Structure formats: C-alpha cells, structure tokens
Structure 1
C-alpha cells in the first residue's frame, strides 16, 4: 500500500539520505544568496537559476519548465520498497515596514538597526514531499501523489537594541500545487532490471493577466524552486547512469531524463540511494571536508568567498546581515574562521592520498629508495640523490666548467637576442640537470664586460648541449 511516511519511517529515511542530503543542500541553495550577500547587489536580483518548475500557464511565456522527469534503472531484491523525498524551496516575499507616530505601519525601503539594515527580500523556505511505496505496486499502476502548500502571511516584529518596536517584517507566501507520479517497468536483459520513472510537475492554476508582460518575479512565489529528488531502494541497488555495466548500456541509453540528472549517492559509495539533481554531477558527489560551512554562492571557491566576505566594510556587513539570516551566518562565519581553517581551504591534492613510494614496511629493504610509509611525492621520504655528473659529451668531447665553446642557438629558441650570439665564443660555468633529465650549460660570453658580475650573482645564459660546439679539449 502506498503511504506518506510516518514519523518513525521518516527518521529512518533521514538517516539513509543524510549523506546525500548534504550534497543536495548545496543544490537546493545554489544561488540562494550570492556574494556579496546584499540584496542591493545586481546579481542577487536574478537568483534561483536551477531546477525552477514554474506554473504551467507561465512556462511557455519565457521558455522555463513546469516539470522534471527522472528515469533510472534499479535492481530490487525480494519485497523491495522505494523511498522518495522531493525537496524544493517555496519563495516568500518579505516586505519591511516602519512604525509611525500613531502606532500604524508603513512600507519602507530600509530599516536601520544597530547591527543590520533590513530591506525587502525574497526568502525561501525548505519544503519536502515524502513517499514510501512497495516496488510491486509501481509495476502494476502509476502512483500519483498530489501535494499543496497553502498561501499564508506571517508578521514578525522588529525591535531595536532597547527592546522598542520600530517596525515589522511581513512575509507573504502564495499557494503552490504539484504532483509526483511514479511507475516502473521491467526491461529485457540478462538480469531482472526495472526502469523507474519519476515525474515532478508544478500544477499551480495561477496564470498572469498579461502573459507576455509577466515578470519572472510574479511566477517565482508559485514555483517549485531548486526542485530535486532523493530515491532510496531497500533491499536492492540502482545502476549508474554515467558508468553502467556493459550489459545495461542499451537500457541506460533508452532512459530519458528531462531537466534533471540522477547520480548514485549512497553513503560509503553505496548504490542504494540516487540524487536526481538539476545540476549535472558525477556519481557519489561529496562536500569537501575542508569546507567550513555553507557559502551558497557555489560557483566560487570557499577560500575566495571567505576572504572577500571578511574584507567587506562594516556598512556592507550590516546590509548583508539584514538581507537574510543565511547571509548573516556567512558574514559571521567569515569573521570567525581561524588561520588554520583558512589554510586548509587553500587546496588539497586528494589523488595522492594513500600513495606510497615503496613496498610495505615488512618487505622494505634497509636501503630502500623511499622510507616505509612515506608518500612517494614527499621529498623527506627519498634517499639523498646521487651527485649529477658535472661534464657532458658534446661531439665526443667532454664539456664542463672551464670549457670553451662556440654558441650555435637552435631554431627552437624564441629569444631574438640569441641571433647576436651566433658564432660567439663562451666559457662554460656549470652543467645543470633538471628533474626531467634535461641537461643545460650555463655560460658567459667571452668579451662580455659584465661576466664577472654575472658569476657573482649566478646569472648566466643557458644552452643545451646540441647548441654548442667545443673549441678545445679541457
């Protein structure tokens, strides 16, 4: 029997989806409030670009979408159950009012407080639609779950630092309606595989009076913003849509995902959870462990955002704090990050984790090139290098410090001044070896009045062995 999830089941689902939800939060709030986190910033006037499902009457007007379709392959086992969680933001319009002398309120563009400046703003409240259904039901009929989020109005008083009422925030939310449709069908192949189709649709009846002139701001409060799905299968597993097994590739090619993309997101690399996201991700996406908190402007790098936010002026921080509680949290986070956390944000090379340069400690020889347990890329783990040869054969003649050579710059050189060195005699000062095995001759030109200064400063001209001709044997 199809049911909405009771409290106990919701808790179990929450634990199962916990890891995937961390990534989904980044999707849900992608573009929610962009740096510099002030409502007055130009880019914060065009927010919420991903996963917006608008009312169907308005969708054709501006070319946006009213539905998402997810198709994914799954291998249920036994009496399997599918758990679904639809998440989206419901935009609510916040207006700011100041108190008048007679105790009434009037709309205002700004309300200044000691620590913030309140301004009108569109907030977003997180909404969830949960469903749990036995897999055999999905193959027998289409499961339809309609849902509604009603219109409402909330008032929050605004107090100054003395506790006096100086204004209020009025939040108005429009009604939004939608539906989730689910069904599954068996796919021909060597193994029992079902193709699951999950359709999420905005069915709100609202229509603008003049569609051609309607602004996006009118449609957003009736939209499912940043809509995405979490799917869980127990017992059983989903197949990867980006890297399926060879036998499943034809079936994967037959799946049609519309305005969303499903990826494996099970905890610990498991395949029992799928995140269907409006942003293309790879299987098993994860939040970087170095991340200190949500920055919301996910097109930027945490380190850059933290440093830039900390550098905002006090007045800019007051406006950011008054724009949205999440923006205020970003400002507080940037101001409180200790140096060691900022240093962690500077970067990490994950591909080298666990890499070692030698055999396991019990098999390593005492004079092994690398110390046991030391990564191969760590210079501390390598034995002292053998001295590089200080002479190199050129035309069968050993050339090294003190040798005289004639310079013959090759065609691959790009310095135009090399033309003036063609045929000049020079003294070899050193033979140098780079990490790629290349050999370079450091030289000073005979007759150069600055040669002695170059030697003192270690500033030479460099040529490769095939660009010189020995003048004499040392």
Structure 2
C-alpha cells in the first residue's frame, strides 16, 4: 500500500507554514487561529466553543471481504524555544525575546516537531467494534549553550516539549448500495491533559496540523467530491467534522485518500505552489 503520493500534498497544505515561520511566543494571544487542524485537550476545548478536541472523517470504500487499510496520522507537536542571555556579572541566565550572536539574531519562539503514527487494520478486525489505536508522544527537554566566535559563553537555548496522548478509532459499516461498499469512519481525539496551566500551555498540548492519509489494499475509495451515481446517496450521508477527504495521488488512482482540515479537490497535485503562497500570506498577517 502506497501512501507516499499524499505526503507532498499534506506537507505543503498543512506543515509548510508552521515550519517555515514559527510564530513568536510573545505574539498573538491566540496563535491557534493561524494554524490548521488544531486538536486541543478536552478540558481546554470544553471552555472555548471555537476549539475542538476531536475530528472525524467518513468516506465510502468499494471493497469485498478481506481488504486491508493503512492509517497514517500526521501532526505537529509544538515545542517552546526560549533564548537566554548569560549575565556573567550575576552568574546566571536571563530569558530574552532575542539574542544577537555574532550578528545573527536568535529569537524565542515556538517550533514544530513532526510526528507520524502508522498502523494497519484488516476487514476481520473492523467487523466487530471499532479498532482503537493509542498514540503517545513523549515530552522532552534540551539545552544548548551559545558561544560567540571567540568561544565566550553568551547564552543558551532551552527547548521544552510536553507529552501528548491521542486516540484513533477506525470503524467500517456496510451501506445499502448497488455495489459492495462500506462507510469508513476514522475518529481522532486529543486525550492530553492540560492540567492547571490551561491557556498558558494550550498550544503545546495540542495536535497541530493534524490530518490523515489512508491507503487501501483490496478495494478502492469512492470520490467524495464527485461520486458515481450508485454511491451518491451513501456519500451524502457521510459526516465529516474537521477533516475532509479527497482522493490523492495521480488522477485515476483510487487507493489513497487524504483527509485534511482544508477543503481540497480530488488529486490536488496542482495546488502546491498556490497553497504555499497562501500560507506565507497568512503568516505575514499573523506577524
């Protein structure tokens, strides 16, 4: 099963912006509004109706018994990068917004760490209750000293990542149609606990730019954008919340599906250049 065809599209549409230009920690109070596919912890989402802890995609697959499904969940983990200036007269470090090291400014900001979670399920597994896959991403703490060209200590960079936890549920139910078909549902939930820190750490406990790439062996995905007549009613009944599925890969292929928080058309390979431009414009507006 090949999922590489959808990676380039997903990287451009969702991951390029945060990686190309991380926002400043001292910038907007609600940077999540400039991000796509943000799944917050449930306790944070419950306090703000504009946020969500879950996303769901439903699509139609034309398949007989024995098919296998490959599920790839991709998202960004936000890590805080704090720059410190060394104060030799006081013998300690002081956090600063930016530090000039030999003419090159280094800023405190939030960075993005990419994660991919890949697992497979088969037809037999999906006949009963939904298949569940738990996702655990460890936290981390890194410290790097900064020295100038003469080797003098001038500061340090500290990077901190909070652990993340998520759940992915996959189910498939037969639908009444002229051909053998199943309604496939993939549901993603952020189960990280933000704790008492709440808004202060909100984005560092989120799954950012979260999206799915699905690949099927022994079947084919039905276009949700332009379904054939026999599948139109079943496609209409599919419920997509926060993730919208389109066929990916070369035109004519129907074995790979990309579900993103941005509405695209099938086989969106020609959107790459314009999408990057749009993302950069959004980043410039965000300041």
TM-score category of the 2 structures, normalised to the smaller one? 0.7 to 0.9
RMSD value, Cα: 2.9
Equivalents in 2 of 1:115, 1:142: separation in Å?
A: 56
Aligned length: 282
1:446 corresponding residue in structure 2: none
Question: Which of the residues 171, 195, 199 maps onto 1:207?
Answer: 195
- Equivalent residues of 1:34, 1:296 under 8 A apart: no
Measure, in 2, the Cα distance between the counterparts of 1:267 and 1:129: 24
Q: Is the alpha carbon distance of 1:285 and 1:108 closer, same or farther for their aligned partners in structure 2, counting shifts above 3 Å?
A: same
Partner of 2:14: 28
- For 1:69, what is the secondary structure of its paired residue? strand
Q: Deviations over 1:27-60 (max 9, x none)?
A: 332642687x774996797354321000001102
Q: Which has the larger radius of gyration?
A: 1
Instruction: Give the 3-state SS of the residue equivalent to 2:254 in structure 1.
Output: coil
User: Runs of 5+ in structure 1 lacking a partner?
Assistant: 1-12, 309-474
Residue 74, structure 1, aligned to residue 61, structure 2: yes
Q: Could you tell me which of 227, 231, 234 is aligned with 1:251?
A: 234
Q: Quick check: 1:57 aligned with 2:38? A: no
TM-superposed deviation, 1:17: 1.9
Q: Give 5+ residue unaligned stretches, structure 2.
A: none
Indicate if the aligned counterparts of 1:34 and 1:44 stay in contact, CA closer than 8 A.
no
For residues 24-423 of structure 1, what are the structure 2 equivalents within 5 Å? Answer: 24-29=10-15, 31-32=17-18, 39=24, 46-47=31-32, 48-63=34-49, 64-77=51-64, 79-101=66-88, 104-208=92-196, 215=199, 217-287=200-270, 291=273, 298=279, 300=281
- How high is the TM-score relative to the length of structure 1? 0.54
TM-score by length of 2: 0.87
Q: Which has the higher contact order (CA 8 A, sep 6+)?
A: 2
Please say if residues 233 and 272 of structure 1, whose CA atoms lie closer than 8 Å, have aligned partners that are also in contact.
Answer: yes
Q: Distance in 1 between matches of 2:28 and 2:87?
A: 33
Alignment check: 8 A CA contact 2:64 2:181 kept: no
**Deviations 1:3-36 (CA, angstroms, capped at 9, x unpaired):** xxxxxxxxxx6xx22221111012332642687x
Distance 1:34 1:132 in 2: 31
- CA offsets per residue over residues 102-156 of structure 1, 9 Å max, x none? 6642222221023421121011100111111112211222111111112221112
